[in-house]
Structure 1
C-alpha cells in the first residue's frame, strides 16, 4: 500500500503538520476543505492538476446542496453564477439531433419537485462544476484552507495516531511529507487512495466509455430559442449528448460513447470531433472549434468511463472515501456531484467534533453507516434513470426525485433508535429522526434552516422551557454547545410544533449538519438527564 522506506527517510525532513489532508481538489475535495475550515479545522488540499478544470462535468446542484452551501455563506453567490432558466428548472430532452423535435424526459414521478420552495429555502441551481469550484476554492481559502495545485500524493502510511502522506510538486519534482490526524480521499473514480487501501467496489461497474469535448460553435439555428438543460441524442451515434456551457448558444459540452477495445481517445482528432458535433447538431456546415480541457495543455478530448459502483467501505482506519472515490453512478439524474458534496458535509462536522474532543472516535463510524446506504440508493436511482433516458426504459423502480434528494434518511448510532432508511416525500418531512430538519419560514423573512450548520440545536415546544434550560446547562451538555429555542417564543412561526411532529412539551435535537438526531414528541420526566444521555449517545462519548 505504501513505500515504508521512503517514509522513514522523510521522517528526517521537516514534516508539515495539519489536522486533515484532502486528496483531490475538485468539487468534493474543495467542499470538504470548505466545510472543515468553516468548523475551524486546519486542512490541506493536494490536487494533481495545475489549476481547476474548465470542463463543466456537472449541470447543477439540488436544493439540498444549495442549502448546505448557504450554511457557509455561498447560497447567493451560487444563484448569481447560475445560468439556467429563471425558475431554476433543469430541462433534459431526447432527440435524434439537436435540430429535430425534442421529446422531454420526465425527471420526477410526481409533482413534488415542481416548486421546491414549499419545503426548502432554495431552488435547483443550474451552475456548472467549473463555475462552482471557483466559488468553493475562493471561500475555502478565505476561511484558511491550504489548497495546493500541481501536487500529487505518491505514498501514504497510517498508524494509530495519524496519517503521513508523501507529496511531490509536479513542476519541480521536490518531495516532502505532510502529517495529519485524518485523510479524506476525494481523488475520483479511479481513486489511487482506494486502491492503496485495498477497498473493493460493488455494482454493475463500467456501463460504457465516453469522450468529451468543449466546443465553440453557434448552434442557435438548431436550438431555435428552445430551452435545453441537456439533450440526449442518437446522432452521430447512440449515447451522445450536447449540453450548453453558457447562455449564448455558442459554448457546448459534447460527449459520445465509444468502445476502447476498438478505438482510443487519440483517434478522436479535432477534425473528427468537429464532424461529430455537426452530425449531433443537425447543422452540416456549422463552424466548430475545440477548447483545451486541462489548464496548461492543448488536450481537447478526454475519455471517461460511465459506470455504477459503490465502495464496500467508506472508511479504513483514519482514511475516508468521499465523492467519486466512494461511489460512481451515471450522470442521469444529476446525483453525483450533490452526493459528493453531502458526503463531505456529513463527514466534516464529525471530524471537527472528534478533533476538538467533543465526541468520541466512534462518531466517525457513522459516516460509513449513513453515507454508504445513500450512495447505494443514489447509484440505483441514477442507473434507473440511465435506462429511462438512454436505453429505452427504466432499469429498476424510479423513486420520487425530491424524496431521493431531499428526503433521504439516516440510520446510525448518531440517530439513536432510528432504523428506517426509506426516503420521505419532501412535503412530508416532519422532523422524523434521521431526516433533514424541515424548512419553515420565520417572521423575519428567514427560515428555520438558518439555525443549523455550526452547532447542535434544540427546538422545544411552546411549553418546553425546561428543555431549553437544560440545553443551556453546561452540566447537561458536557461542554457541547447546544443552542435552544422555544417555538412560538424564541422563533415566530405559526405551525412550529406540527411541522416538527411534537406537542407543546416535546423537543427536537438537530445535529450540526441539519439532520434530526432525536425527537421527544410528548416530553420527558427528566429533560436534563434525557438530553444528556442523548448527546452522549450521538457523540459516542464514554463519560
Structure 2
C-alpha cells in the first residue's frame, strides 16, 4: 500500500479543519486535509463570527475578505435574535443581559462582529489554505488510525475510485465533527447533557418580504409550524432563507420531509399561505435538499491522545445560541497551530502540546455552558445558568497552563477590563498610525516594554537569539508611537509584557528586575517546555 508523508494531517475539511490548515500553512508547516464529502456543504450553519475570531483570521490575511463577504457588504453587522409565533407576527426581541454592553466594542477590538455564513467563510479559508500550500483532498475517507512514538499512520480510502492508501503524519488533528469517528477510536468519552433534540434544515427560496416588512432579523425563533422552529435570512434581499425545525427521529426520518412538506412548513412559519417556495440542494453534486442535525451539548474528557488532537465539534458541541460554536472551533485550531509549529520547527519541547488541552478544554466547557444558558433564554424565555457578559465569554477568557507560568486564575474578564493579565488575550490599544498593538502578534513572541524598559527589550532580543526563538521587542513610546500603552498593559515605565504568538499574555513584570535575563529565560523555557 502506497504511503505518503506530511507533518500534520487534518481529518475533516469544514470550518475547523480548513482553519487549522490555514494557520499551519501560514507557519510553513506541511499540512494535508482529507474530507470524505465531494465538496464543501452549501449549508450556512453559522451566521457569524466573534470579534476575537476575526482578529485571528486577520493575522493570516483574511480580514478584508471577511468584511467584504459579510452581510451588508462589510458594514456594521448586528445580530438580532427575535421570538414570534410566525415571521409575519409582531416580534418579541430576545433580551440578553450579555448584549447590554455600555461600552462600544470598538474600544476593545479593532475587529467587529462579522455576519458571514459558514459556507462563505469556508470558501475563503479553502482558497487561502491552498494559496499557502496546503494539500486538500475530497472524497477521501479515513478508515483506520495507528499511532506510535514517532508518528501516526492513517489508512484512507478513495471514495471515488475505491483504492486504499496510507498517510504518515507527525501529528493528526481530528476535526471530523460531532460524531467524531476518531474520538471513538481513541476511546475518549464526553461529558454533558448530550443530544437535546434533532432538527431538519433546508435552504429555501421564497419571497418573504410581506412577512418581514422591512424589519431587521438575525434569526427568528418561531412557534410555527411547531416549537423549536427558526428562520434565518441567507441574503440581504429577503428571498433566500435557512429554515429549521425540530423533529423526533424515533417517529420520523429526514426522508419523510419531502419538498412539498417542507414548503408547506415554510408557509406556516412565515405566516404567508400563498407564497411560492423552492428548496436548494445542500450537498454539491446531489439533489439532497433536507439535512438532519442533532442539537446537543457535550465536551470531550480529553482533547488529545498521544499525537492525535481533537478540535471543533469533535472536541465539544453546544447549541448554536450565542454563536460560540464556529468561533470556538477556529480558535481551537489557532491555539494548536502555533504550538505544533513550535514543536515541529524545534524551538519548543513536546510538552508544549499538553497545554492545548489545559487551555482549550476549560474554554470548551465554558462556551458549552453559556450556549446552553442562552438556548434556554431564547427558546424558553429563561436561563437556568447565569449569563456572563458576552465579551467576557468571547474575548475575556483566561488560560491557566504551563504556557502561562504562575497563573492559576481562570475567571473570564469583561473585554473592557483586559489589562494584559497573564493568560488573557493581550489588549487592543490604538497606535498613532491608526492601527492596533494587536497587529504585532501572530508570528512570534513579542515583548512590550515601558518607556524606560530598554533593558527588558535588549535582554529579550539577545535571549531569543541565544535560544533560537524569535522574540521581537518594542519599547512603548519609542519603537511604537502610542499613548497610554503602559496603563493599558498594567505596567510601569520599567515594566514589560511577554506575548505569545497567539496573542495571549505569557508573563507580565510590572517593574524592573535584578536579573532580567534570568527571569525571561525561565519564562521562555517554561512556556516552551524546554529542559535546561
Which of the five TM-score ranges fits, normalised by the shorter chain?
over 0.9
Contact residue 471 and residue 531 of structure 1 kept, 8 A: yes
Task: Determine if the alignment matches structure 1 residue 444 to structure 2 residue 433.
Answer: yes
CA distance in 2, matches of 1:330, 1:36: 28
Distance 2:332 2:374 in 1: 22
Alignment match of 1:244 (pick from 227, 233, 254): 233
Alignment partner, residue 288 of structure 1: 277
Matched position secondary structure for 2:71: coil
Residue 185 (str. 1) matches residue 174 (str. 2) = yes
1:62 aligned residue: 50
Cα deviation, 1:435-483, whole Å, max 9, x if unaligned, reads: 0000011011111000000000000011110111011115675110000
Match of 1:50 in 2: 38
Q: Secondary structure at the match of 2:524?
A: helix
Residue pairs, 1:207-222, within 5 angstroms: 207-222=196-211
Quick one: distance in 2 between partners of 1:395 and 1:25?
35
* Counterparts of residues 115-130 of structure 1 (less than 5 Å): 115-130=104-119
Q: Which runs of no fewer than 5 residues in structure 2 stay unpaired?
A: none
Question: In 2, Cα distance between the equivalents of 1:404 and 1:99?
Answer: 33
Contact kept, 8 Å, 1:113 with 1:402, in 2: the verdict is no
Q: Which residue of 2 aligns with 1:269?
A: 258
Question: Does structure 2 conserve the Cα–Cα contact (< 8 Å) formed by 1:459 and 1:509?
Answer: yes
Question: Does structure 1 residue 343 correspond to structure 2 residue 332?
Answer: yes
Bigger shift: 428-437 or 525-534? 525-534
* TM-score w.r.t. length of structure 1: 0.97
Deviation of the 1:277 alpha carbon: 0.2
Shift of 1:169: 1.3
SS in 2 for 1:343: helix
Looking at structure 2, the residues matched to 294 and 317 of structure 1 have their Cα atoms a distance apart, in angstroms, of 34
Structure 2 residue 383 is matched with structure 1 residue 394: yes
Please list the CA deviations of residues 340-383 of structure 1 after superposition, one character each: whole Å capped at 9, or x if unmatched.
00000000000000001100000000000000000000000000
Deviations 1:381-408 (A, max 9, x none): 0000000001221121100101100000
The alpha-carbon distance between structure 1 residues 110 and 217, as it changes in their structure 2 partners (threshold 3 A), is closer
Q: CA deviation at 1:263?
A: 0.8
1:419 aligns with 2:408: yes
CA distance in structure 1 between the partners assigned to 2:427 and 2:358 by the alignment:
22
**Counterparts of 1:33 and 1:147, CA distance in 2:** 9
Give the Å deviation of 1:88.
1.3
User: Of the candidates 468, 472, 476, which is equivalent to residue 461 of structure 2?
Assistant: 472
The C-alpha deviation readout for 1:179-229, integer Å capped at 9, x for no partner, is: 000000000000011011110000010000000001010111100111111
Whether contact under 8 Å (2:464, 2:470) holds in the other structure is: no
2:219 to 230, 247, 250: 230
Question: Contact conserved, 1:477 with 1:535, CA < 8 A, in 2?
Answer: no
Any conservation in 2 of the 1:437–1:514 contact (CA below 8 Å)? yes
C-alpha distance after superposition, 1:313-361 (max 9, x if no partner): 0000000000000000000000000000000000000000000110000
> Does 2:203 align with 1:203?
no
Task: Identify unmatched segments of 5+ residues in structure 1.
Answer: 1-9
User: Would the aligned equivalents of 2:463 and 2:521 in 1 still touch at CA under 8 Å?
Assistant: no
| Superposed CA offset, 1:79-111 (max 9, x none) | 010015832111111111000111111344354
- Local SS of the residue matching 2:40: coil
Counterpart of 2:24 in structure 1 is: 36
RMSD of Structure 2 on Structure 1 (CA): 1.1
Q: CA deviation at 1:112?
A: 3.0
Contact 2:202 2:242 in 1 (8 A): yes
Structure 1 CA distance, aligned partners of 2:386 and 2:164?
A: 50
| Number of positions where the alignment pairs a residue of Structure 1 with one of Structure 2 | 531
Q: 1:77 aligns with which of 31, 41, 65?
A: 65
Alignment partner, residue 142 of structure 1: 131
| CA distance, structure 2, for counterparts of residue 507 and residue 94 of structure 1 | 49
TM-score normalised by the chain length of structure 2: 0.98
8 Å Cα contact 1:210-1:255 kept in structure 2:
yes
Secondary structure, in 3 states, of the residue corresponding to 2:529? coil
Aligned to 2:311: 322
d(CA) in 2 for partners of 1:253 and 1:529? Answer: 58
Contact 2:464–2:471, Cα closer than 8 Å, also in 1 = no
TM-superposed CA distance for 1:433, in Å, is: 0.3
**Matches of 1:300 and 1:110, distance apart in 2:** 34
For 1:110 and 1:531, the matched residues in 2 are separated by 39
Q: CA deviation at 1:114?
A: 6.3
Separation in 2, partners of 1:475, 1:377: 35
Q: Does 1:503 align with 2:492?
A: yes
Encode CA deviations 1:513-537: one digit per residue, 9 max, x unaligned. Answer: 0000000011211111111110000
Kindly indicate whether the alpha-carbon contact (under 8 Å) linking 1:185 and 1:322 is maintained by their aligned counterparts in 2.
Answer: yes
